[in-house]
Amino acid sequence: MSPPAHVGPTMNADTLEFEKRTRELLEDSVQRVDGRIRSRLNQARHGAIEEATRRRRSVWQRFTLMPAAGAVAATLLVAFFLWPHSHSGDSLTTESSGRAGVEDLDLLADSDALDLVSDETDTGQFYEWAVDQADSNEASSTGA
């Protein structure tokens, strides 16, 4: 597309001058904006900055809370897996007591033994019988 016939050096110079003058006038009109408008713009700006700050803080909190939550979860996981080992770790002393406990349970569950303990007369007869048996065995072995 060829340029219009009237476009030439003078036109360009005039255009530049016109642009310069309009720019100056518009900038002047900006400076003349009244206090009410300036105040409203000031409030709008503060609102926008608060919004941006709030948004950034929430993003930061999300990023800082994420590792903390991860650390808590990892701690719980480790604690869960280490808990049984910690019981067996110090159990050289507790193992025997644990075994004794199991034997006590067997004794307690044995009803015959309980009957024997509860009946004192039978218990005495049993011991007398046992001594007699031992003596007779000894006599027969020496007499032979």
Q: Where on the chain is the footprint of another protein (CB under 8 A)?
A: 14-15, 18-19, 21-23, 25-31, 33, 37-38, 40-41, 44-45, 47-49, 51-53, 55-57, 60, 64, 68
CB of 77 to another protein, least distance (A): 20
Q: Token pair for residue 30? A: 């900006």
Q: Which is nearer to another protein, 53 or 94 (CB)?
A: 53
CB of 4 to another protein, least distance (A): 9
Q: Are 83 and 77 in contact (CB under 8 A)?
A: no
- Give every CB contact of residue 126 below 8 A, 6+ residues apart in sequence: 116
CB of 76 to another protein, least distance (A): 18
Give the integer Cα–Cα distance in Å for 126 and 132.
10
